[in-house]
Amino acid sequence: MVVFTFAPTFSAWKTKARLALQQELSPQDVFWKEESSIDTFPDLFLGEESSEKQPAASAKTFRVPREFLTLGDVVACHRDPSRWDLLYRLVWRINHGEPHLLDHTPDPDVHDLLLKERAVSRDVHKMRAFIRFREVATDDGMWHVAWFEPQHHIVARNAPFFVERFASIKWSILTPDACAHWDRKELRISPGTTRDQAPAADAAEELWKTYYRAFFNPARLKPSMMRKEMSPYYWNNLPEAMLIPTLLAEAAGRTATMVAASQAKRTPELVESTPIRLPTKGDWPALKEAAESCRACPLWKNATCTVFGEGPLHARVLVVGEQPGDQEDLAGRPFVGPAGQLFDRALQTAGVPRDHLYVTNAVKHFKWTPQGKRRLHQKPTSREIAACRPWLTAEIDHVKPKLLVCLGSTAVHSVVGNGIKVTQDRGQTLPTEFGIPALIPVHPSSLLRQPDRSREAADFAAFVADLAKIQDFLSK
């Protein structure tokens, strides 16, 4: 038997596996030894000849499907030590008469590969869902630290996700296997640690438990599904987990109270002929509450929340964007992401205070498609725009602005109608069925997508010039 010693990564394993294949070593003739556990194996193997002492490898090349590389990169994070044997057995078989092996899912090796891939992917998802940071004051400022116990070796694989999601804060994620650290400049991976190195509860934790208790919906309680998606394995590391037994016990009583309150609020003014049920005109709190339970189109299923408008309820100018983005969906507020930040900067340059504007979106739920670790914006369909239009109409009727500002084609479609092209009609003020003129600038996200960096300054100046026209309506 030949012993191959390697760092426990898929990249390092591939290098050794290529050598083994070139030497025509069958799976039974190879033993895979991870460097991190080199001293834990029996002395029986230490006298064996290593791959580095074998005769020079042949120039023969080997091929594997791209799917194997994708799956193998995930399975390499599995905690089962036999994963390396499994990967080599598969690549051996693929190169010795079974090139389409991965298409045969009932095969025991392929089945095992897919089970391991799903287990690692599920653990990656759970880590993203169940990380809870706690604030720690240091000489270098505030640091956010979390403790997590993954089921597999996923820290290095998952760390870039947290860098992207929490790029603006300094944080550390501590686990028994490895730790990830981000100082807003560099990502580092260090050896694992023990739980006693993690900080105790902070003030934000009590706030989070209050939030969790308030938004726990007993009417939608399904304990079996809850335990499946929020496995008790992770409860020890979740501050809200201590609330779960009490919330489960109280669920039936709270549901009955909610049903009684809902029936008491029903009035003849509810519009029963449409999927959207608008409350009595002028009842602003009820309008927002009703929007949160809107099911007029499928977008609510994948969104975190309904993102309603915000600002003065009698603002002279009402700004309509297209739909919430990733950060708006998480924050529950319109225009707080990159496009919103550029919009704020343009308003400031134009001398228009944002707090004088009511800002909303034509569509209230984030429509997105997954791409790797990111949620990419998708353009709403005409049906989805139409389904959400009663909410926008209700906002306009309540605020009664003197000017509507339509940012982007979806907003123009909802407010002005079809046939208007933003690139041709930008900067113009057009009539609407509301009896309120609509100003047509571009959407700030189009400036962020501009591929020609030399045009940035000119495009921004043109956007500012369009927004400057708002001042005339603020002063009327």
Q: What is the mean pLDDT of residues 319-331?
A: 94
Q: What is the mean pLDDT of residues 110-130?
A: 93
User: If we measure between CA atoms, which residue out of 388, 390, 396 comes closest to residue 315?
Assistant: 396
Q: How confident is residue 79, by pLDDT bands cut at 50, 70 and 90?
A: very high
Q: What is the pLDDT of residue 137?
A: 84
Residue range 40-63, pLDDT digits in tens = 333 333 333 344 444 444 556 788
Residue 214 pLDDT greater than 90, yes or no: no
Q: How confident is residue 123, by pLDDT bands cut at 50, 70 and 90?
A: very high
Residue range 356-370, pLDDT digits in tens = 999 999 999 999 988
Range with top average pLDDT, 49-53, 98-102, 274-278:
98-102
Residue range 225-260, pLDDT digits in tens = 556 666 666 656 666 566 666 766 666 666 666 556
The b/e string for 193-217 (b: 16+ C-beta within 10 A; e otherwise) is beeeebbeebeebeebbeebeeebe
Yes or no: say if 410 and 416 are a contact pair by the CB < 8 Å rule.
no
Q: What is the pLDDT of residue 254?
A: 61
Residue 76 pLDDT greater than 90, yes or no: yes
Q: What percent of the chain has pLDDT over 70?
A: 77
Q: What is the pLDDT of residue 226?
A: 56
Q: What is the pLDDT of residue 240?
A: 59
Q: What percent of the chain has pLDDT over 90?
A: 53
Q: What is the pLDDT of residue 318?
A: 96
pTM comes to: 0.47
Q: What is the mean pLDDT of residues 98-104?
A: 93
Q: What is the pLDDT of residue 200?
A: 73
Residue 264 pLDDT greater than 70, yes or no: no
Ranking 119-128, 242-251, 333-342, 430-439 by mean pLDDT, the lowest is 242-251
User: What domains can be seen in the chain, in order of their start residue?
Assistant: 2-125 (no CATH), 131-197 (no CATH), 203-265 (no CATH), 284-474 (3.40.470.10)
Q: What is the pLDDT of residue 271?
A: 35
Yes or no: say if 316 and 389 are a contact pair by the CB < 8 Å rule.
no
Q: In whole angstroms, give the CA distance from residue 328 to residue 451.
A: 24
Residue 392 pLDDT greater than 90, yes or no: yes
More confident residue, 184 or 226: 184
Residue 342 pLDDT greater than 90, yes or no: yes
> Position 331: which residue type?
A
Tokens 């036999």 correspond to what residue?
Answer: 82
Residue 305 pLDDT greater than 90, yes or no: yes
Residue 178 pLDDT greater than 70, yes or no: yes
Ranking 115-119, 239-243, 319-323 by mean pLDDT, the lowest is 239-243
Ranking 86-90, 167-171, 365-369, 418-422 by mean pLDDT, the lowest is 418-422
Residue range 414-461, pLDDT digits in tens = 998 877 888 888 888 999 888 999 999 999 998 888 777 778 888 899
Q: How confident is residue 38, by pLDDT bands cut at 50, 70 and 90?
A: very low
User: Mean pLDDT across the chain, nearest whole number?
Assistant: 83
Please list, in sequence order, all residues whose beta carbon lies within 8 angstroms of the beta carbon of residue 411, skipping any fewer than 6 positions away. 320, 321, 322, 361, 362, 443
Q: Cα 360 vs. chain centroid, distance in angstroms?
A: 22
Q: What is the pLDDT of residue 307?
A: 95
Yes or no: say if 113 and 10 are a contact pair by the CB < 8 Å rule.
no
